[in-house]
């Protein structure tokens, strides 16, 4: 059965990327199936995956109706007698072992990473890091960051390699409203997972802590951060080239220097406490000749040219596009569970779904909306074909090849 003949990869091919052996292995090595008679981890995984693909706005009621439908049961080989209620789904989300979904996500990301060729690996060593927030009425979301609108906030902090989400953390504690705490946690956790990491992490102006930048440098973590303009610094050495090589497109290189920056509070150095950080960084300032707007970048990368660093920062915009995709196409802002455990499960399942969808999108040269719509269409056609076979018919007579 071929739904879209011009596609290089179909949904059926995409579903083969899900490591079936891993699902079974994790069922025994985690506590995902403890105290559950019907909603075992594997069934919960496929239920959430199916519903994220097939629904514009997911709810616990939708999950209930989907699980109890003949089409879903036929597609994933469930017994017709198996039934669940919405209350069971709500309770299961609040207690199910998050590590089951986290392990699947991380294993699938490593699997997809192996598909990159050497050129792509070098290209995707540039990791964009940023956060997005989701708000909910404080009466419903008990654990969250408070704001002045009578709502509570959750923060989702992501790392994104330009094609796939490479890491995610969920924060609901007030202290993590500061990006100076949230983003380093994402970066340090990812760096620990990679034995020989050579990534460059790109961030916007949310992270400004000089102490964090020192910590990155001590851990050999390369970064490019957009610095707030007029940050106090002391110049050690200038790398500014001759006048005729300082321009490209609409941009002019104003400063390229080795510097020491000043922290907001005294930091313990070798010679005692000082507001001036001992670590030497690179400060690059570029100016748009049309708008007169300046961009300040701080980095511990001294081998790249000033233009390359500016170009790397421009690629940070990819994560903003990714956020829009998560919110508009995969409904990240709609909380199916108001319990932190359930929220984490849904975030990992959203990341897994997004990886499958992004591979489908990239392989078939589609837009985000088209890819999501066509996957939903392929899902329904797969179910129809299975039901026709169960009824003793031939799906090839319905789906012309």
- Residue 36's pLDDT band, with cuts at 50, 70 and 90, is low
Tell which of 256, 288, 303 closes a domain. 303
For residue 391, what pLDDT is reported? 67
d(CA 187, CA 354): 20
Task: Tell me the residue range of the domain where 37 lies.
Answer: 11-102+332-397
Q: What percent of the chain has pLDDT over 70?
A: 90
Give me the mean pLDDT over the 340-363 stretch: 92
Pair 33, 88 in one domain: yes
Quick count: other Cβ atoms within 10 Å of Cβ 10?
A: 20
Residue 188 tokens, joined:
């340090």
Pair 338, 288 in one domain: no
Pair 299, 339 in one domain: no
Number of domains the chain contains:
2
Asked whether the predicted pLDDT for residue 1 surpasses 80, the reply is: no
Q: What percent of the chain has pLDDT over 90?
A: 46
**pLDDT, tens digit, for every residue of 288-341?**
999 999 999 999 999 999 999 999 999 999 999 999 999 988 988 888 998 899
Nearest to 316 by CA among 182, 127, 119: 127
For residue 4, what pLDDT is reported? 81
Strands 200-203 and 222-227, by their bridges, are parallel
Asked if residue 247 is part of any domain, the answer here is yes
**pLDDT, tens digit, for every residue of 236-284?**
999 998 877 789 989 999 999 999 999 888 777 666 677 888 899 999 9
Whole-number average pLDDT of the chain: 86
175 with 181: CB under 8 angstroms?
yes
**Residue 272 φ/ψ, nearest 5 degrees:** 105, -165
State pTM to two decimals.
0.87
**b/e map of 35-72 (b: 16 or more CB within 10 Å)?**
ebeebebbbbbbbbbbbbbbeeebebebbbebbeeebb
Pair 37, 97 in one domain: yes
For residue 318, what pLDDT is reported? 93
- Using alpha carbons, list the distances in angstroms from residue 64 to 82, 217, 333: 11, 49, 21
For residue 362, what pLDDT is reported? 87
Asked if residue 107 is part of any domain, the answer here is no
Pair 298, 337 in one domain: no
Give me the mean pLDDT over the 173-200 stretch: 86
Pair 229, 295 in one domain: yes
Region of poorest pLDDT, from 81-90, 215-224, 345-354, 382-391 = 382-391
Residue 84 tokens, joined:
């669940």
DSSP string, 204-250: -TT---HHHHHHHHHTT-EEEEEEPTT--EEEEEE----GGGSEETT
**Residue 147 φ/ψ, nearest 5 degrees:** -135, -175
Give me the mean pLDDT over the 351-360 stretch: 92
For residue 399, what pLDDT is reported? 46
- Residue 138's pLDDT band, with cuts at 50, 70 and 90, is low
Asked if residue 109 is part of any domain, the answer here is no
For residue 223, what pLDDT is reported? 96
Asked if residue 354 is part of any domain, the answer here is yes
Asked if residue 286 is part of any domain, the answer here is yes
- Residue 118's pLDDT band, with cuts at 50, 70 and 90, is low
Tell which of 303, 319, 351 closes a domain. 303
Asked whether the predicted pLDDT for residue 49 surpasses 70, the reply is: yes
């Amino acid at each position: 059965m071929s739904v879209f003949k011009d596609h290089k990869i179909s949904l059926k091919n995409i579903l083969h990327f899900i490591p079936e052996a891993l699902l079974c292995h994790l069922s025994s090595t985690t506590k995902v199936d403890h105290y559950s008679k019907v909603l075992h981890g594997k069934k919960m995984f496929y239920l959430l995956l199916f519903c994220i693909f097939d629904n514009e706005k997911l709810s616990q009621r939708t999950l209930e109706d989907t699980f109890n439908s003949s089409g879903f049961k036929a597609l994933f080989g469930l017994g017709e007698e198996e039934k669940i209620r919405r209350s069971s789904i709500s309770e299961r989300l609040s207690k199910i072992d998050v590590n089951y979904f986290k392990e699947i996500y991380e294993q699938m990301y490593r699997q997809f990473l192996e598909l990159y060729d050497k050129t792509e690996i070098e290209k995707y060593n540039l990791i964009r890091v940023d956060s997005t927030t989701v708000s909910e009425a404080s009466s419903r979301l008990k654990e969250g960051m408070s704001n002045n609108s009578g709502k509570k906030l959750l923060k989702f902090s992501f790392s994104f390699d330009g094609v796939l989400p490479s890491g995610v953390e969920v924060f609901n504690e007030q202290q993590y409203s500061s990006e100076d705490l949230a983003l380093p946690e994402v970066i340090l956790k990812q760096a620990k997972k990679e034995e020989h990491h050579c990534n460059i992490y790109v961030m916007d102006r949310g992270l400004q802590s000089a102490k964090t930048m020192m910590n990155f440098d001590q851990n050999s973590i390369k970064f490019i951060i957009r610095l707030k303009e007029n940050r106090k610094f002391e110049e050690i050495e200038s790398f500014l080239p001759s006048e005729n090589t300082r321009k490209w497109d609409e941009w002019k290189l104003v400063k390229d220097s080795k510097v020491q920056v000043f922290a907001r509070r005294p930091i313990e150095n070798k010679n005692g406490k000082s507001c001036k950080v001992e670590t030497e960084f690179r400060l690059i300032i570029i100016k748009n000749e049309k708008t007169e707007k300046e961009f300040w970048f701080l980095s511990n990368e001294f081998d790249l040219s000033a233009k390359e660093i500016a170009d790397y920062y421009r690629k940070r915009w990819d994560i903003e596009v990714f956020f829009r995709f998560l919110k508009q196409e995969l409904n990240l802002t709609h909380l199916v569970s108001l319990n932190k455990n359930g929220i984490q499960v849904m975030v990992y399942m959203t990341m897994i779904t997004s990886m499958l969808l992004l591979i489908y999108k990239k392989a078939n040269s589609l837009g985000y909306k088209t890819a999501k719509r066509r996957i939903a269409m392929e899902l329904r056609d797969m179910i129809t074909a299975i039901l026709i076979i169960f009824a003793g018919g031939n799906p090839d007579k319905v789906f012309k090849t």
